[in-house]
Amino acid sequence: MANFQIAGISYQSRVMDGETQTLVLKRLLPTFAALMGCQTSLKAAAALASVEPGGDDEVVDPLAAQRDALMPVARELASVSDADVKFVLNACLAVTKREVSTGVGWVDVVQRGQIQDQSDATFIGRLTIAWHVLGENFADMLKSLGVDLSDLSGVIPK
């Protein structure tokens, strides 16, 4: 189970069942492959961000370097069909709970096929939930392939 916060709201997610993991992986495998291919460039861009402005080592804009490194991932994500995007987002939301009120309890983000709180329905909210759930479900597999999502969480712009 992963615990995370988005805009001050606490969430918990559980691991997807094996069939759902397989179907999500099938849809996102090209994106994961692109992420594997750009990890070195992203780390180099992060290193540039730590260089003092105006120093001799400053050659390129670190945000531009991050953007350029992420372009293969963006292209792969753009090629994912709308139906596949909906499937992945819904699969991620289906295994996620939100805290109702501190100490009161937890409710499923999706109940009877509907997102219950509008803050969970925003694009950024859904995408951030999906990032955490995908990390929980695929981090070990990706790490074995050389992509450490914990390394990238500080590199990918928020």
Q: What share of the chain is helix, strand, coil (3-state, %, to 5)?
A: 60, 15, 25
Q: How many CB atoms lie within 10 A of CB 64?
A: 11
Residue 109 lies in a domain: yes
Residue 157 lies in a domain: no
pLDDT computed for residue 157 by the predictor: 39
Q: Tokens 């392939």 sit at which residue?
A: 145
Domain count, the chain: 1
pLDDT computed for residue 94 by the predictor: 93
DSSP code string of 67-82 = HHHHHHHHHHHHHS-H
Residue 156 lies in a domain: no
Residue 76 lies in a domain: yes
Instruction: List the domain range (segments joined by +) for residue 66.
Output: 2-151
pLDDT digits 0-9 by tens, 33-45: 888 778 777 777 6
Residue 68 lies in a domain: yes
Residue 158 lies in a domain: no
pTM (2 d.p.): 0.75
Q: E-strand spans in 7-104?
A: 9-13, 96-101
pLDDT computed for residue 1 by the predictor: 78
Helix (H) or strand (E) holding 66: helix 62-79
Q: Which residues, given as ranges, of the chain have pLDDT below 50?
A: 155-158
Helix (H) or strand (E) holding 5: strand 2-6
- The rounded distance, in Å, linking the Cα atoms of 46 and 158 is 13
pLDDT computed for residue 158 by the predictor: 40
Residue 30 lies in a domain: yes
